Amino acid sequence: MRKINEWIKTHITTIIFWMLILGPVFDCVTSLSIHLLHVQLTAIMLFKILFLGILIYDLFFISKCRYKKKISLMVTAIIIYMITYMVIVLLHKGPDVFLYECQSMLRTFFFPIVLLTLYNLYLEKRLTVNRTYLHIILITYIAFILIPILTHTGFDSYAYSKVGTIGWFYSSNEIGGILSILFPFFAYFLFQQKKLWGIVLIGVIVGVYFAIGTKVPILSIGITFAFFMITYIIYLFQKQKWKQLSCFGLLVVIGIISLLLVLPKTSFYKNIQIHLEFLEIDSISDLLTLDHIDHFVFSERIRFMKHTKENYINADWSEKLLGIGYIENYATDEVNTKLIEMDYYDIFFRHGVIGSAIYFIPFLWILIKVIHQMIKHISIPDVTSVILILLLSLFSGHIITAPSVSILVAYILMCCLEGEHA
Residue in 88, 83, 82 with CA at minimum distance from that of residue 327: 88
Task: Lowest mean pLDDT of 18-22, 99-103, 236-240, name the range.
Answer: 236-240
22 Cα distance to chain centroid: 16
Tell me the pLDDT band of 264, cut-offs 50, 70 and 90.
confident
How large is the average pLDDT for residues 53-81?
94
Determine the 3-state secondary structure of 121 from DSSP: helix
At residue 283, the pLDDT reads: 62
At residue 421, the pLDDT reads: 37
Single pTM value for the model: 0.93
Tell me the pLDDT band of 329, cut-offs 50, 70 and 90.
confident
At residue 288, the pLDDT reads: 66
CA atoms within 13 A on the CB side of 261: 6
Which phi-psi region, left, alpha or beta, contains residue 397 (left: φ > 0; alpha: ψ -120 to 50)? left
First to last CA, the chain: 34
Backbone angles phi, psi at 331, to 5 degrees: 65, 25
At residue 422, the pLDDT reads: 37
Dist CA 206 CA 209 (whole Å):
5
Residue 374: enclosing H or E segment and its boundaries?
helix 343-376
Dist CA 10 CA 7 (whole Å):
5
Q: Is the pLDDT assigned to residue 420 strictly greater than 80?
A: no
- Residue 194: count of CB within 10 angstroms of its CB: 8
Considering only the C-alpha atoms of the chain, give the largest distance between any 2 of them, rounded to a whole number of Å.
Answer: 72
Angle CA 409–410–416, to nearest 5: 85
The full DSSP string for 321-371 is: HH---SSBTTTSTT-B------HHHHHHHHHHHHHHHHHHHHHHHHHHHHH
Q: Is the pLDDT assigned to residue 250 strictly greater than 90?
A: no
How large is the average pLDDT for residues 153-165?
77
Q: Is residue 390 a contact partner of residue 412, using CB atoms and an 8 Å limit?
A: no
Q: List, in order, residues 6 or more apart from 47 with CB less than 8 Å away.
A: 26
Model pLDDT for residues 377-390, shown as the tens digit of each residue: 878 999 999 999 99
Sign of torsion over alpha carbons 80, 82, 85, 91: negative
CA atoms within 13 A on the CB side of 276: 14
Q: Is the pLDDT assigned to residue 228 strictly greater than 80?
A: yes
Model pLDDT for residues 170-215, shown as the tens digit of each residue: 888 899 999 999 999 999 999 888 788 888 899 899 999 999 988 8
DSSP summary character for residue 204? H
Model pLDDT for residues 345-400, shown as the tens digit of each residue: 999 999 999 999 999 999 999 999 999 998 888 789 999 999 999 999 999 889 99
- Residue 50: count of CB within 10 angstroms of its CB: 11
At residue 18, the pLDDT reads: 96
CA atoms within 13 A on the CB side of 112: 27
- Residue 216: count of CB within 10 angstroms of its CB: 23
Dist CA 38 CA 31 (whole Å):
9
Tell me the pLDDT band of 410, cut-offs 50, 70 and 90.
very high
Q: Tell me what percent of the residues of the chain surpass a pLDDT of 70.
A: 95
Tell me the pLDDT band of 113, cut-offs 50, 70 and 90.
very high
